[in-house]
Each structure stands twice: as C-alpha cells, then as structure tokens.
C-alpha cells in the first residue's frame, strides 16, 4: 500500500513528466528514511536511444530517481515544506547491475547528516533486493528566494 501516490509526490517536488521518475512511496519514516518505487517500463522515452535492441536505464537517470526520492524525504519535513531541494554532489557512486524494462526499482534513502539547510543522504537503488546502484548524495534546500548559480 502506498504511503504517497504520484499526486502526493507532485505536491512535494517540482518534477513533472517526462522527468518524474517516481510512481509511489512505499515506506517513510519522516526525517529518517524512505523507500520509493519506480516501475521501469519499455515505454520510457530514454529506451528509444539507450540502447536500441538492448534497453538499459541510463545510470544518470537512476541517480536522478534516487535524488527525487531524497527530495521527497527532505521536503516532507515541516521545516522544508514548500521549498526546493537541489543535489549539490555525488560521492561513492557504484553501478553494480543493469536496470531494464520490467524491473521494479526500489529507491532506498536514509539521512546521514543534516546541518541547517544542507546535508547528505545514503542511497541505494535495488532490483529484486539486489543493489543496482549506490551513492552518497549531497543536497541544499533553497531559501524562499531562487538559488543563483
């Protein structure tokens, strides 16, 4: 049973189709951890070119899916509601298994540290309980005004 459905997710994060890589949230312990789900289907637009005849989900999009799950966890906290979380870094990224159409990608995120409006989360994308991708993601939550690059 979903804790948050797609409509609930879109109320928390700004991502929309075609770059919303989240179907629902399966588990969430606020300010601690989340398990979100992305059902990978052959209809994904990136499979048209990655790779014809051998569809594989691009690693960068697995990281993006994990970042979106992290954003849901971060922005569900009352102190960050209505704000936007931005990924500021990726450490220790490992790609251990290909993700293909038909896979159910379970996105596990847990806080490592949080200081004011920035922090680090440990993330794992799993398929059939096997780690496909893992990393540490750094983030910053923007103040009410837009972040300037």
Dist CA 122 CA 107 (whole Å): 11
Q: Which of 50, 58, 90, 131 is catalytic?
A: 50
Structure-token pair, residue 23: 């179907």
**What values do phi and psi take at 63, rounded to 5?**
-60, -40
Task: Report the half-sphere exposure of 99 (CA within 13 A, side-chain side).
Answer: 31
Helices marked H in the chain: 6-12, 59-75
Structure-token pair, residue 77: 């906290």
3-class SS at 56? coil
Distances (CA, A) of 95 to 46, 66, 126, 130, 144: 18, 13, 11, 12, 35
Residue 50 among the catalytic residues? yes
- The set of catalytic residues is 50
């Amino acid at each position: 049973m979903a804790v948050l459905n797609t409509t609930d997710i879109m109320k928390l994060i700004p991502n929309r189709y075609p770059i919303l890589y989240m179907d629902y949230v399966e588990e969430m312990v606020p300010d601690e951890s989340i398990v979100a789900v992305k059902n990978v289907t052959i209809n994904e637009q990136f499979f048209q070119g990655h790779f014809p005849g051998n569809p594989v989900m691009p690693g960068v999009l697995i990281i993006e899916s994990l970042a979106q799950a992290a954003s849901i966890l971060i922005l569900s906290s009352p102190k960050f509601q209505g704000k936007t979380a931005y990924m500021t870094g990726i450490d220790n990224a490992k790609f251990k298994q290909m993700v293909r159409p038909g896979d159910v990608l379970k996105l596990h995120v847990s806080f490592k540290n949080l200081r004011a409006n920035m922090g680090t989360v440990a993330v794992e994308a799993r398929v059939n309980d096997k780690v496909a991708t893992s990393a540490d993601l750094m983030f910053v939550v923007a103040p009410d005004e837009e972040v300037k690059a």
